[in-house]
Amino acid sequence: RREQARLKASVVEEDTEEWQKDAHFTGLERVGGVDLSYVKGDESRACASLVVLSFPALQVLYQDCRMVAVSAPYVAGFLAFREVPFLVEAVRRLQQEEPQLQPQVLLVDGNGLLHPRGFGTACHLGVLTDLPCIGVAKNLLQVDGLARDELHREKVRSLQRSGETFPLMGTSGKVLGMALRSCTTSSRPLYVSVGHRVSLGTAVRLVGACCRFRIPEPIRQADIRSREYLRK
């Protein structure tokens, strides 16, 4: 908790890059995605995956898949301590080996500010790499009074078209993230939250721009490639 609080002090919740301030993201050329896939039945072995895609074409420019030995136990609310070190290593390798392909923003399969202590995996990775980061979760983390209750389900049903959203406001009155309908073919929303060096509005717009299917392409490709690596 002390370490999370120390690192949280460095989180920047606003846009810091010129491309973020442009309606069409002019100047954004590379979007990264990260994922960890575990060996079935073995929580200590996983494949850590980092991909970089071109933007707006969303073509894979770079991929790095490595087997890693996961030693930290899973503790709810502290997942980053288990997974982020491997993702930081992957980013560092890319910076050394192919610096011209460094992503200008990272999409993370997990939460940012939408977290019991306001410091999820996307914040953790963002602060340690100093890259803009966005948390994209498939399920709602029930914190600060947020719940998958009938009211929430009603709001989800109200999202009729891709790009439609509603704010995730906790009992504290703070907006912790946004529910986003990312494509017309899936009615299940994504839960987008700020990680680091990006505003919530920009985060939601960018996630939407990266979606061909429900899951944004950088995360989807990182997941596909890590699973394929394990299969092989």
Chain segment 189-201, per-residue pLDDT in tens = 999 999 999 999 9
Average of pLDDT values for 76-90? 94
Average of pLDDT values for 96-100? 97
Structural domain spans, the chain: 1-142+191-231
DSSP per-residue letters across 11-30? ---S--SGGGGSTT-TT--E
Cα(86)–Cα(49) distance, integer angstroms: 9
> Which of 64, 52, 67 is closest to 232 using CA atoms?
67
pLDDT at 76: 85
What does the mean pLDDT of the chain come to? 96
CATH superfamily of 1-142+191-231: archaeoglobus fulgidus dsm 4304 superfamily (3.30.2170.10)
pLDDT at 229: 96
Contact 111/193 with Cβ under 8 angstroms?
A: yes
Cα(176)–Cα(189) distance, integer angstroms: 15
DSSP per-residue letters across 134-158? EEEESS----TT---SHHHHHHHHH
Average of pLDDT values for 11-24? 96
- Tally DSSP H helices, then E strands, for the chain: 6, 8
Cβ burial of 120 (10 Å; 0-12, 13-18, 19+) is buried
